[in-house]
């Protein structure tokens, strides 16, 4: 069933938990995410966004993910991640996405505010909630590389931004980067604490791959209620498909390799769901 409304994110924050947003690229990755939600009995978000659309097709992937969510026994939201296009936002809202992220971090501040406020209004008219950001997260969300965090979210400016735009959740830049790095990124927890105090809305952590459980716990304790997860699932999928390929090639068994990838995604996603669901406990 579709996870509608913003209440589950707020409830997660109050309970000291976080809801994972898992990126889906195709049928098998989306099915693996749904399986993880059903196995754990906990809510998740399928993130079918701009970069994945370039591979699978926007309408095809969006409708596929929505159909899986609607027919699942688990509570699953469908989220548009890292979007910069009003036209794409409108499409996703019209077909039934439960939330959207507008990424205006590349724009001058006033233009970011204007774009984000416009999207917030459109999303709220559709009953969807909105995520945005002031500063982009370093690295490529689709390809793991040794990215280095540079700019950070300014706590005082974040309060102004939230008030001016009407967003529901703020993605923070606090040393986090997309993808795995040779050394765990150094997360600025003091900055995160100040952002929470300034904004008083649920915060979102992009680039959570490779962060230690204690680091994630510290972030959740300081207001992070949604955590984006991508690289762990991609690695699990690719490793499982690679392991299955020799036998699959010998018998031309395409289904076996696809099923292996789907199962690996389900296992990796379920592990992250369980971790984020118990972070309130030391």
With beta carbons less than 8 A apart as the criterion, state whether 104 and 164 touch.
no
Determine the average pLDDT of the residues in 181-200: 88
Determine the average pLDDT of the residues in 185-204: 94
pLDDT of residue 146: 44
Residue 179 has pLDDT above 60, yes or no: no
- Given the residues 67, 81, 90, 140, the one annotated as active site: 81
Which residues, 6 or more positions from 253, have their beta carbon under 8 angstroms from its beta carbon? 247
More confident residue, 87 or 4: 87
Residue 195 has pLDDT above 70, yes or no: yes
Confidence band, pLDDT 50/70/90 cuts, at residue 182: low
Percent of the chain with pLDDT over 90: 82
Percent of the chain with pLDDT over 70: 91
Burial 171-184 (b: 16+ CB within 10 A, else e): bbbbbbbbbbbeee
Mind listing the pLDDT tens digit for each residue in 115-146?
999 999 999 999 999 999 998 654 445 444 44
* CATH number, span 7-277: 3.20.20.70
Residue 149 has pLDDT above 90, yes or no: no
Confidence band, pLDDT 50/70/90 cuts, at residue 181: low
Q: Which two tokens stand for residue 282?
A: 């030391």
pLDDT of residue 144: 40
Residue 22 has pLDDT above 70, yes or no: yes
Please state the domain extents for the chain: 7-277
The mean pLDDT of the chain is 91
Active site residue 81: yes
In sequence order, the β-bridge partners of residue 23 are 47
Determine the average pLDDT of the residues in 216-225: 94
Confidence band, pLDDT 50/70/90 cuts, at residue 185: confident
Mind listing the pLDDT tens digit for each residue in 28-54?
999 999 999 999 999 999 999 988 999
With beta carbons less than 8 A apart as the criterion, state whether 171 and 192 touch.
no
């Amino acid at each position: 069933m579709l996870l509608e409304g913003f209440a589950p994110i707020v409830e997660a924050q109050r309970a000291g938990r976080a809801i994972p947003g898992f990126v889906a690229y195709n049928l098998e990755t989306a099915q693996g995410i749904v399986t993880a939600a059903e196995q754990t009995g906990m809510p998740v978000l399928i993130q079918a966004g701009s970069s994945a659309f370039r591979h699978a097709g926007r309408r095809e992937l969006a409708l596929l993910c929505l159909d899986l969510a609607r027919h699942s026994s688990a509570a699953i939201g469908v989220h548009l991640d890292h979007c910069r296009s009003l036209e794409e936002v409108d499409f996703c809202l019209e077909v039934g996405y439960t939330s959207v992220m507008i990424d205006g971090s590349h724009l001058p501040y006033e233009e970011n505010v204007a774009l984000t406020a416009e999207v917030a209004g459109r999303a709220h008219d559709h009953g969807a909630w909105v995520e945005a950001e002031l500063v982009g997260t370093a690295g490529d969300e689709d390809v793991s590389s040794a990215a280095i965090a540079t700019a950070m979210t300014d706590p005082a400016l974040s309060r102004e931004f939230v008030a001016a735009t009407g967003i529901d959740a703020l993605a923070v830049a606090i040393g986090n980067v997309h993808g795995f790095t040779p050394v765990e990124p150094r997360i600025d927890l003091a900055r995160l604490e100040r952002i929470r105090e300034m904004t008083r809305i649920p915060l979102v952590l992009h680039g959570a791959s490779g962060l230690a459980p204690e680091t994630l716990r510290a972030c959740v304790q300081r207001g992070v209620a949604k955590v984006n997860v991508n690289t762990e699932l991609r690695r699990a999928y690719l490793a499982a498909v690679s392991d299955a390929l020799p036998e699959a090639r010998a018998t031309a068994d395409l289904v076996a390799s696809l099923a292996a990838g789907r199962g690996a995604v389900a296992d990796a996603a379920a592990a992250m769901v369980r971790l984020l669901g118990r972070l309130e406990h030391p």
